Amino acid sequence: MRPLRFARMHGCGNDFVVVDDRDGRLQTHRAELALALCDRHKGLGGDGLILIQRDESQGGLAADFRMTYVNRTGADGEMCGNGARCAVRRAVDLGLAPDRGRGTELRMATLAGLVRATVDNAEVTLAMTIPSDERSSVPLAIAGQKFGLFVIDTGVPHTVAFLESPDALERLDVEGIGRAIRHHEAFAPKGVNANFAARRPDGSYRMRTYERGVEMETLACGTGSVAVALAAHRRFGAAAPVSILPTGGGLLTIGFQASNDGFREVTLKGPTETIAEGEIAAEWLAVRGLTALA
């Protein structure tokens, strides 16, 4: 039996277990592995599991590696902005691209499409896939409150609701209202991520997110931050770059080019941090029925 090497990483508090799976042995067991590893009491803890894998694409669109993202509930995710930034940083640490400090560039394959990234030490900037399915002012009544939701897919589907002040945002029942929006029939069958935001006096935006797949409020959401920035442009005329402050601390910066037809050149920039590196004991995997990985 052999142990499984891992890195615990986070981007603005959005935390992940990152595992090198370039030999492909974890792919068919990814759901069970995510459930076990992301358990915050009996595992390593995390919002999701990230597998760094070889990209099987051929030709000019081949990526340096593939990111497979699995939510803590065992459900696959098309894309995770903060997770992708951590995956890129980890890929550089594993030698999948020359670490030139400032300006290291990689191409990463995801279920949402090919994502380009630039690494500047701990800070990673993603060139996001083109947003789609933009809708403004979708009316929804939840728990006696009326919301005019901005809806957009930034790699995964999101809604954005703006509150009148940061104080109102802090008082909001994000777990209850977010869960109701996430499971609302208007967004069936896949559901949606629910973001809530408020403009600060300095022009930045404070945000909170109930995240689909994680099924709880998370400390940050990268694709949700992009959705908030694009919604702020449509609703308030916010100019790029837009600064987003998530609950987990740090700063996410969103760049974009906007037109009446949609958004282009969307970028997500922010910090990453490696918390720990180590080995998962083969015995631990075996006890949890993951003997095929041990």
The residues that are catalytic are 80, 221
> Which residue has tokens 């590893």?
37
Alpha-carbon distance of 14 to 124, in angstroms, equals: 14
Alpha-carbon distance of 269 to 290, in angstroms, equals: 36
Cα–Cα–Cα angle for 199, 216, 135, rounded to 5 degrees: 50
Alpha-carbon distance of 285 to 288, in angstroms, equals: 5
Identify the DSSP state of 131. Answer: P
Longest CA–CA separation in the chain, Å: 58
Task: Return the axis-axis angle of helices 222-236 and 81-93, rounded to nearest 10°.
Answer: 130
70-106 residues labelled b (16+ CB within 10 A) or e (exposed) = bbbbbeebbbbbbbbbbbbbbbbbeebbeeeeeebeb
φ/ψ of 289, rounded to 5, equals 80, 10
Q: Which of 96, 92, 71 is nearest to 82 (CA)?
A: 71
Three-state SS annotation for 191-241: CCEEEEEEECCCCCEEEEEEECCCCEEECCCHHHHHHHHHHHHHHHCCCCC
